[in-house]
Structure formats: structure tokens, C-alpha cells
Chains A and B, each alone.
Chain A
Amino acid sequence: MGREKEAKAHLAALGCLIVLVAGILAGEARRVVILQDTNPMRQIQGAVGGLGLGASASPTWAFNAFDPRLEPHCEAGIWPLAGGPCYSPDHVGPVSDFPQDIQVPVSKPDFAIDGDGSPETP
């Protein structure tokens, strides 16, 4: 009977853990809703026009890992050894690694620009 009581205590402990996890999940769901409505992150991102798409707090090695819009390719891939191995640790640990094969359209120069920025046909 002693073992049975111990088993029931373990079962109760499991029940408590399940309740705790359910509470965590409920709290996290509420947190996401609050974050979406009123968070400083949203205000700052609105002010700077959106910056930082990667799992990187700083463009220490390359802007590509921080925000690939700023630099679609990793700078460390062509420096210090052009064509050699890329030493950037940004490709190893972080939970984001942006593709280097996306072709970004480039507008080719057909015309010249004058001093005030308005187009000038040749």
C-alpha cells in the first residue's frame, strides 16, 4: 500500500506539472497578444522603418545576418579570403541563416541624373 500511495503522489505531481505547463502556455499566449498591441518594439520598428530580420543583435561580422535587405550576401564570404571559406560565426549557431542565392533585381543605368535628382533623358 505504501508503494500505491507513492505512485499516486507521483501521479499527482505529474498533474501539477501539467497544470503548470498549461498556465505557462496561457500566460505566453496572453503575452503575445499584449506584445502585438502595445510594445516598444513596434514603436521603434515603426520609427526606423523596420530593421533587423535575423537572429543577430548587431552586425558585428556582416549586415547580411542582421538584416539581409541591407546586404543580400555575407561580406565575410569575400573577405579576408575572396572565394575562400567564410569565417563568419553568423552561419553556425544562430537560428536564422539567410539564403545567398536570391537574385535581387538591379535597375541598370539607361539615363543620367541631374543635380536635383530628377531624371534627365540623354
Chain B
Amino acid sequence: MNQPLPDSIDAELPRPGGWAHLALLILAIENTVRHPLRLFVTLACLIAVVTPFTVGLAILQGVKHEALQALDAGPDLFITGYEQGRNISMPQAVARHVRTLHQAVRVQGRIVGRTNVGPHLITLVGLDPEGGEPVPSRGNVWLGFSMAQSLQVKEGDTLILEDMSQITLNVDKILQKNAGLAAARMGIVRLSDAQELFATPDRLSDLQIWVNDPLDRQGPAGNSEPGLPIAFQLRLTGIPLRIQTRKLASDYVNRGFGLKGGTFYALFLVAFALVIPALLVTSGFGLSVRRKEIALMKAIGFSVLDILEMAFFEVIYLSMMASTASFAFAWAWIRIFEGAGVAPFFIAGLELGPNIPVPAIFQPLPLFVSIGLSLVLLSTGVMSTTFQAATSDPTEDLR
């Protein structure tokens, strides 16, 4: 009964101690390699689902990062006119009045509008030179990279904008390609140029007020309390105004991305669930040869626990392969191919012009989530069928 086993079988038998686990791991990978078609289809199924999931999460994080930068650079109080439940423009005189208040560290009057240059929509930002930051000189425009590419203009060219009136601008500067999503199709002009274009003299679309020194600010929401006297003074102007604090804008970002992020997770969980039947078929269900393999293992001395451990190693190996490959594919898709074909699904307006670097951040969390989900999916397909085969009578399966 204790005759030595033949060499070929001995090589595959688990050895005592830690080596047993390593041998089972090698054996598990051998099992997957033995059926190349099954290996390919299973990996392809997982990669097809996990890659867009990783791309989406990376873009979600990237856009949120840009939003937080915009929020960080933004004011403590954001004022617009108010009428009939909507934001409207407001008199520039309010900006002059606020500048006289000592609580205001910085005050910037701004026009944010949109107009067309031929078939191209441009986001036009008019900046007040008294706002404390450099602005284009009169008759000049700073143009976003994507917009300049669409219009096929370069620095020194002339650009004619037409809305309620017509203005001719000199393209003074083209913003860098990596200046961000919002800047891609933006044109920055002096406030007076924007007022002339939209025929709104002495009007602003919004007024930005900083009440905290940026270094003293407590987190992205900031402290709007110093703005209360200014809000009171604005109320005294008698103009219906909408006053938004940094905290409110921070809530927009957190809820805006949280809500969509949650929906995104939910949709992908459904997608993952739909893959389960495919994986059930490819990863073991219906493969009578697999039952025979397991029966043979039992016949040569493998315990049920050994077989389950081997199957678990198989699941880990496939999950790691699929998740890491998906992560690498997703990274290449965004960073090398600039999100071709996928980024416009997640970011509106990208289809309007040449590509800019897609805002995306690749963090470890999506990788761990995809590994976890792959483990669950594959376990559903592999572990249950393996357990059934391992606990059945091997003589029946081998017959």
C-alpha cells in the first residue's frame, strides 16, 4: 500500500509544510493553463467589465480634483443677481461698493458668458483689472488650447467675436494644453471687452469676494463668518442678490460627485452581475473534464480541502491577472490614447474639439475594488462547482 508514487504524479503532489501551498498554487495555474480557451474567455470577460469601471473611476477622481482646485481658487462669497428664480446680471456699482468695505480682502467683478465663433461655442470670461490678478489688456484675448485648435488660430492672430455687438481681439496668449478642463474652450478678455460684446455696460454676471486670507482658510469649505457683515451690506443695497458661500459650493461638489459616483458604482455592479452567468460557464460549470480532473486528484490522494485551496488559488490568480491587466489597460487608454472613445461618455463637451489631457487620477482604491469584485465573481463560478465535484464520488465522475 505504501509503494512510492510514479515520478510524474509525485511532481504534482503537495509536499508537507509551506511547500504544499506553493505546489497547490503552481498546480492551480497549471489547471488554468491547461485550458487556454477557457483562460482567455474568462480573462476577456473580466477585463471587458473591469477596464471601463477603472477608467470611469479615474476620470471621476480627476474631475473632482480639478473641481476642488477651482473651489480652492474661488471666492468666499459668490454674488449674482436674482430674478424670477434665476440668476441674472448685477450692476458693477455693487463691486465698487464692496471694495470700500474693509472685510473684503479681494473683490473681482466678472462676466461669464458664451457666444459662438462660427460653429464653435466659446466660454467667454471677462475679468475686472481691479480684481487683483493679471488680466489681458484691452483688445486682447487669452484662448484655451482646445478652442485655439478648433479655430485654427495662433498667438498674434486676430479673432472677431460677434454677439450683441462685434469686437475684434488680438490673440495674446494660448493657454497650455494641461490648463484644465474648464480652460480648454475658454476665452479670457478684459471685463470692458466682454461688456461691449454682450452690450451690457456696467453689468457683471457675478461678483467674487474673498474675506479670508488663503493661508488662514480652514479646509475647502472655508470660514464664511467674516463675510456676514458684507452680506448684510449687500442686503442694504436694495438689489435682489443671490449669495453663495464657499461652503455651499463645497456642498455642490461633494453631493454632485457623490451622487453620480454612487450611481456609477450601482450601474457597474449590475454590469458585474450580468457577467456572472458568462463566468459560470467559462470558469467551470458544464466542463465535465474538470470534474474528471478533480476526481482524479481525489483518487491519487488529494483531500477536499486541498482541492478547494487549489481552486481558490486559481480564483486569486485569475482575479489578479484580470484586475492588474485592466488597470494597466485603463491607464494606457487615458494617458497614452487620451481617452479616445471613452472620455466623452464621462465628460460633456469633449466631443466638441481636439483632445486635451483627460483629467484622471489613478489611485489604488479602484484596483482593490476591482480585485475584490473579480474574486467574488470568479468564486461564484469556480468555488461552488469545485466543491460539488470535490464532495462527489470520484468513481462516478471518472466513469
Contact A50 B74 (CB under 8 A): yes
Q: Is B312 an interface position by the 8 A CB rule? A: no
Q: Is B48 an interface position by the 8 A CB rule? A: no
Contact A45 B252 (CB under 8 A): no
Which residues 90-122 in A have Cβ within 8 Å of B in the complex?
Answer: 90, 93-99, 102, 104-113, 115-121
Scoring B residues 98 to 115 as 1 if CB is less than 8 Å from chain A, else 0, what string do you get? Answer: 001000000010101010
Residues of chain A within 8 A of B223, CB atoms compared: none
Contact B345 A104 (CB under 8 A): no
Residues of chain B within 8 A of A70, CB atoms compared: 80, 87, 112, 205-206
How many chain B residues sit at the interface, stated as a range, is 35 or more
Q: Is B125 an interface position by the 8 A CB rule? A: yes
Residues of chain B within 8 A of A54, CB atoms compared: 63, 67, 256, 348
Residues of chain B within 8 A of A41, CB atoms compared: 66, 69, 178-180, 183
Scoring B residues 41 to 72 as 1 if CB is less than 8 Å from chain A, else 0, what string do you get? Answer: 00000000000000010011001111101111
Contact B237 A111 (CB under 8 A): yes
Given contacts A14-B321, A28-B362, A99-B259, contact A104 B175 (CB under 8 A): no
Closest A residue to B109 by beta carbon equals: A49
Scoring B residues 307 to 345 as 1 if CB is less than 8 Å from chain A, else 0, what string do you get? Answer: 000000000010011001101100100000000000011
Q: Is A37 an interface position by the 8 A CB rule? A: no
Contact A4 B26 (CB under 8 A): yes
Nearest-Cβ distance from residue A23 to partner chain B, whole angstroms: 10
Nearest-Cβ distance from residue B21 to partner chain A, whole angstroms: 13
B82 touches which one: A10, A44, A106, A112 (CB < 8 A)?
A106
Contact B249 A58 (CB under 8 A): no
Q: Is B381 an interface position by the 8 A CB rule? A: no
Residues of chain A within 8 A of B158, CB atoms compared: none
Contact A55 B348 (CB under 8 A): yes
Contact A57 B93 (CB under 8 A): no
Contact A53 B361 (CB under 8 A): no
Given contacts A55-B347, A95-B346, contact A118 B97 (CB under 8 A): yes
Q: Is B284 an interface position by the 8 A CB rule? A: no
Q: What is the bound-complex CA distance between A35 and B91, given in angstroms?
A: 37
Contact B248 A95 (CB under 8 A): no
From B128-136, B164-172, B296-304, B372-380, give the one contacting chain A.
Answer: B128-136
Q: Is B251 an interface position by the 8 A CB rule? A: yes
A45-B182, A49-B108 given; 13 more Cβ-contact pairs under 8 Å: A21-B328, A45-B73, A51-B112, A52-B183, A57-B185, A60-B349, A89-B348, A93-B346, A95-B59, A97-B256, A102-B251, A106-B242, A117-B97
Between-chain CB contacts (< 8 Å), 26 pairs: A7-B30, A17-B324, A18-B320, A21-B324, A28-B361, A48-B188, A50-B71, A50-B74, A51-B70, A53-B253, A54-B63, A55-B181, A56-B347, A57-B185, A57-B347, A58-B184, A66-B123, A95-B60, A95-B346, A102-B248, A102-B252, A105-B242, A107-B239, A108-B235, A117-B96, A118-B100
Query: B residues bordering A, Cβ < 8 Å?
Result: 11, 25-27, 29-30, 32-34, 56, 59-60, 63-67, 69-75, 78, 80, 82, 85-87, 91-97, 100, 108, 110, 112, 114, 121, 123, 125, 127, 131, 133-135, 146, 175-176, 178-186, 188, 205-206, 208, 231, 233-244, 248-249, 251-253, 255-257, 259-261, 263-264, 317, 320-321, 324-325, 327-328, 331, 344-350, 352-353, 356, 361-364, 367
